[in-house]
């Protein structure tokens, strides 16, 4: 039998179906668009309160109930509000919304991560007796929530095995559940995917293993490319011996790694170890002492880099804030130029103007010869030139008389310092010390040239 559209009722019925279908489709498109607009607004308006974000995300989910992203965002907003307000029943709402999102998009790892986090929250609340069911009775299914959370995180790893976030989230969950071994097995996988996360994972391991370095290293099992950064992190945690032990396992560290390790050791007053690493590293910027002196660039004939970060054999010069440091070709003591420091500074704060650190031998006497010239230098807190043990200034220290007044001719001063059995390096420094007078300004000019540091002669007083 053939169906004909010629009768008027059939044509009207078909037209009505088309109109209804078009209206339904149009309404679907409109509501989906409204949902998308609301979600976009929430994402791009960080100033919204958690309550407003949750309300807007809830409207978006109602407009597009079949959108996994809308349900996910509403669930995430409900969880954030639960955390902020302490209303743990909102966490239950969050779980329901995210479960719906998982049904609509079963293989989306983002949904599984969100579900795991929401289930963690509801589990914690139930274990604390903070969540009640519809009958007003505590709902004690915290263990089930923890198991479901673990399953959600496992599925996230299954769906996105090469994403840092999935392994990291699983590791965090297991750590919160007390499974340290499982947690760091997951975190090791996250490190393989994002090695730059080592400081973050290291912090977690440090807390989990209470600073036990052998357990931390065993838990993280760092691959060779991570050993240098592990050593640096240990030194920065005031464990220089452990850091150096790890460093010895490195074959040819990168220049940036050597610089960071040296800086960390210097901060820990381990100048000897820092110098050994610095001297053995392949670095283009390494300097050497000048002939006849243990100092590099003792007459300021070579280029001086302001705010140099080199740890040894380099002048660290600070200029600005009322202090101007330049080289001067007018009447140097010797060579072509000297260092000129011009002061026009209010206040009495301490200021290091120029310094250089040099490795030395223990239990030896060193003499520093300096030539200075002063012009109209006036201050209640004038600068001095110091030489001292770089790690422990109180054990070995010498300083010039205050550099103040007018001395148009070059004047020689000599300082003597005796290193101790623990001294590994000394620092030469032009320093304006702290001045307690509230009107302790400083103005004038000072020149330095021809600095010579070396072992004192036998007859030096």
CA distance 61 to 53: 12
For residues 83 and 135, what is the distance between their CA atoms, to the nearest angstrom? 23
Say which residues have a Cβ less than 8 Å from residue 297's Cβ, sequence separation at least 6.
287, 290, 304, 314, 315
Tokens of 424: 């590994």
pLDDT at 147: 87
Number of H helices, E strands in the chain: 14, 10
Q: At residue 328, what are phi and psi to the nearest 5 degrees? A: -130, 125
Determine whether 369 is exposed, middle or buried from the number of CB atoms within 10 Å of its CB (0-12, 13-18, 19+).
Answer: middle
pLDDT at 142: 47
- Per the structure block, which two tokens stand in for 359? 């490795």
Could you list the mean pLDDT of each consecutive 10-residue stretch along the chain, which spans 461 residues? 54 54 50 64 77 77 77 84 82 87 91 90 59 42 73 95 96 94 95 94 94 93 90 96 94 90 95 94 85 93 86 89 91 94 90 94 95 93 95 94 90 95 96 87 94 84 60
Query: What confidence score (pLDDT) does residue 312 get?
Result: 94
Q: Which residue bears the tokens 């200029």? A: 319
What fold characterizes domain 316-455? Jelly Rolls (2.60.120)
Angle at CA of residue 301, ends 300 and 307, nearest 5°: 45
pLDDT at residue number 396: 94
Looking at 304-386, list the stretches that DSSP marks H as alpha helix, in order from N- to C-terminal side. none
The string of pLDDT tens digits covering residues 381-412 is: 899 999 999 999 999 999 999 999 988 899 99
If we measure between CA atoms, which residue out of 237, 119, 211, 113 comes closest to residue 163?
113
DSSP 163-214: -HHHHHHHHHHHHHTT-HHHHHHHHHHHHHH-GGGHHHHHHHHHHHTTT-HH
At 9 the pLDDT is: 59
Is the separation of the CB atoms in 396 and 363 below 8 Å? no
């Amino acid at each position: 039998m053939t169906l004909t559209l010629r009768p008027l009722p059939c044509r009207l019925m078909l037209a009505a179906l088309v109109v209804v279908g078009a209206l339904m489709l149009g309404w679907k498109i409109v509501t989906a668009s409204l949902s998308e607009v609301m979600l976009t607004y929430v994402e791009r308006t960080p100033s919204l309160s958690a309550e407003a974000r949750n309300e807007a995300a809830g409207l978006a989910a109602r407009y597009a109930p079949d959108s996994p992203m809308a349900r996910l965002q509403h669930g995430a907003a409900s969880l954030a509000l639960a955390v902020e307000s302490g209303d743990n029943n909102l966490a239950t709402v969050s779980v329901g919304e995210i479960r719906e999102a998982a049904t609509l998009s079963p293989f989306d790892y983002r949904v599984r991560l969100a579900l795991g986090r929401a289930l963690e929250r509801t589990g914690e609340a139930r274990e604390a007796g903070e969540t009640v069911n519809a009958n007003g009775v505590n709902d004690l299914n915290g263990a089930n929530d923890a198991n479901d959370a673990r399953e959600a995180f496992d599925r996230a790893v299954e769906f996105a095995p090469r994403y840092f976030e999935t392994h990291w989230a699983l590791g965090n969950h297991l750590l919160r559940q007390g499974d340290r071994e499982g947690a760091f097995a997951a975190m090791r996988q996250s490190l393989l995917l994002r090695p730059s996360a080592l400081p973050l994972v290291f912090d977690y391991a440090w807390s989990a293993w209470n600073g036990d370095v052998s357990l931390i290293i065993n838990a993280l099992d760092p691959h060779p490319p991570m050993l240098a950064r592990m050593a640096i992190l240990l030194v920065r945690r005031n464990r220089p011996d452990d850091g150096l032990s790890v460093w010895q396992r490195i074959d040819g560290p990168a220049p940036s790694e050597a610089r960071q390790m040296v800086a960390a050791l210097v901060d820990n007053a381990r100048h000897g170890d820092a110098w050994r690493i610095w001297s053995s590293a392949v670095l283009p910027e390494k300097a050497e002492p000048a002939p006849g002196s243990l100092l590099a660039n003792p007459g300021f004939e070579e280029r001086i880099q302001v705010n140099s970060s080199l740890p040894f054999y380099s002048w660290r010069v600070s200029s600005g804030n009322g202090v101007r440091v330049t080289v001067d070709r007018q009447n140097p003591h010797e060579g072509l130029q000297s260092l000129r420091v011009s002061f026009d500074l209010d206040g009495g704060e301490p200021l290091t103007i120029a310094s250089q650190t040099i490795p030395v031998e223990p239990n030896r006497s060193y003499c520093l010869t300096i030539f200075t010239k002063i012009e109209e230098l006036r201050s209640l807190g004038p600068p001095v030139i110091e030489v001292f043990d770089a790690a422990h200034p109180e054990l070995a220290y010498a300083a010039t008389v205050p550099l103040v007044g007018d001395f148009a001719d070059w004047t020689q001063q000599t300082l003597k310092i005796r290193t101790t059995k623990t001294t590994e390096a000394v620092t030469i420094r032009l320093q304006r010390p702290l001045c307690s007078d509230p009107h302790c300004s400083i103005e004038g000019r000072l020149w330095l040239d021809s600095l010579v540091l070396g072992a004192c002669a036998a007859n030096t007083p």
